[in-house]
């Protein structure tokens, strides 16, 4: 092993090891991987075992010899990334049209662990900018758009996340305990939308609905309208039909 490899971290070595694989060299022996990555066989074997335990390496035995290949973990993560990139691309036209129709800011969020990640936004024509920007991560329990994502998780996953919450934060001032939050999430799922008032930014209102992947029937994103209270009409739910229509159009495009 070269001096340069000696100074690499375990993560760097694992990534260098993965670079050994290609379309032409998809099945490799331990010796071939060690030679290509210039990492000792004992270290290579240990790294391969770790990667295999997480599904990123597959081990097969052919004619008594062990070969390694990339695992299905990459396929799962790759599909996840592609799905979220696709939803952003697919949603843009509908989001722009919704912004023009409503005159309000339109946002798109996806789940990122225990948070919602805002991946796209079309701002209103108002000169006042007070809303979460693209790339901002918000806890799933806070505000309309994130809470839609939390409401449509499986019961097991939802309960696991709720157990980790701190109910003393400002975002949960109206949801002061676990029971109240669960009731609120049930209401969101029953009605098909969520409303929040000033939870992230004082003086604002947000209205959000889910975006469903027709192929799996999973909620893969949430779409919302957000503005200062003074920019909404008297009845916030007047905006619900246009918001739901945009969500349904985005869903339809996912299988077109």
The pLDDT value given to residue 85: 59
Q: What pLDDT sits at residue 3?
A: 47
Dihedral sign, CA of 256, 116, 247, 105? negative
Strands 65-70 and 115-122: unpaired
138 vs 175: which has the higher pLDDT: 138
| Distance from C-alpha of 244 to C-alpha of 239, rounded to nearest angstrom | 9
Cβ contact 104:239 at 8 Å: yes
Residues 179, 60: Cα–Cα separation, whole Å: 49
| pTM for the full predicted model | 0.65
What SS3 state is found at 143? coil
Helices (H), the chain: 3-6, 10-18, 30-37, 41-53, 72-102, 144-151, 155-162, 178-191, 240-253
């Amino acid at each position: 092993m070269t001096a340069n490899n000696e100074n690499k971290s375990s993560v760097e070595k694992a990534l260098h090891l993965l670079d050994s694989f290609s379309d032409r060299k998809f099945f490799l022996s331990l010796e071939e991987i060690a030679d290509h990555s210039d990492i000792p066989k004992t270290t290579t074997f240990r790294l391969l075992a770790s990667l295999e335990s997480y599904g990123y390496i597959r081990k097969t035995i052919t004619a008594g010899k062990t070969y390694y290949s990339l695992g299905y973990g990459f396929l799962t993560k790759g599909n996840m990334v592609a799905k979220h990139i696709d939803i952003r691309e697919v949603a843009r036209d509908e989001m722009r049209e919704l912004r023009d129709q409503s005159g309000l800011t339109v946002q798109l969020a996806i789940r990122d662990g225990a948070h919602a990640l805002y991946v796209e936004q079309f701002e209103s024509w108002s000169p006042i900018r007070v809303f979460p920007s693209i790339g901002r991560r918000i806890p799933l329990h806070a505000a309309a758009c994130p809470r839609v994502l939390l409401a449509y998780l499986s019961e097991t996953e939802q309960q696991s996340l709720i157990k980790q919450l701190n109910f003393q934060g400002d975002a949960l001032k109206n949801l002061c305990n676990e029971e109240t939050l669960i009731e609120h999430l049930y209401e969101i799922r029953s009605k098909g939308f969520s409303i929040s008032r000033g939870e992230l930014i004082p003086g604002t209102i947000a209205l959000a609905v889910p975006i469903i992947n027709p192929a799996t029937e999973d909620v893969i994103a949430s779409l919302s309208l957000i503005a200062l209270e003074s920019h909404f009409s008297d009845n916030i739910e007047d905006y619900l039909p246009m918001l739901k229509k945009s969500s349904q159009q985005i869903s339809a495009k996912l299988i077109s």
